[in-house]
Amino acid sequence: MEKEELIPTQQIGRQTDAVEEKIFSTVIEAKTAYQQAANRLLDVNKWQRNSTITASSFALFDSDGSPIERLVQQGDYIRIDIPGPGTSAGNGYDWVCIENMEQFSDEESGIEFTLLVARPSKNPSECDDKIAHFFTNQATSTFFVFRRASVLSVEVHGRNELPNTQDQNLLDKVRNLVVNGGSAIGMSFTQWHLLISGILNGAG
């Protein structure tokens, strides 16, 4: 199994990839580190603390829009607070939904992984179905912890990233275009590197 098979196909818009890798002396050490990193990936409410991210924050919500204190599950929502004004559709935040979650382990191949696929979504606390994110819901972010033998990697792969300007009010449309065309995207990429480094190395 190759990692590329786990990532949605790039078809339109921008593609981003953030990868951190670590090689351990033994497979046993790598297995232990994998379990620790996988737990940090699934504990969304602690992403900011575990990764030393200072500019953005993340919080986990259920399908009714209520905050929850547990490890992430498929169908949950993540509220993202990035610097600057947020969307009115998201009550000042950007939102994604975890549309797929998978864990795999195979001793024979020496491969195991934990994977989350997030897609821009509506605000779960609102009846409005408008996408509350600076990307359209064609975009995905694939987060995963992947071990092959003694090599462990933590990765975030963005695919089909397009600015969200359809069915948005004027302020949200302008905001989403600015975010997509300016420093916020570069800052976001930096934040992902901080996140995966913290997940891999246990910052916090």
Domain locations in the chain? 20-201
Residue corresponding to tokens 């910052």? 203
CATH topology of domain 20-201: Alpha-D-Glucose-1,6-Bisphosphate; Chain A, domain 4 (3.30.530)
Listed in order, strand segments (DSSP E) in 3-87 are 14-23, 57-61, 77-81
pLDDT digits (tens, 9 = 90+) for 41-66: 999 999 988 877 766 789 999 999 99
Q: Classify residue 164 by its DSSP letter.
A: -
CB 176 within 8 Å of CB 184: no
**Pick the residue with more confidence: 39 or 49?**
39
**pTM for the full model?**
0.87
Instruction: State the average pLDDT for the chain.
Output: 84
pLDDT digits (tens, 9 = 90+) for 110-156: 999 999 999 999 999 887 788 887 888 999 999 999 999 999 999 99
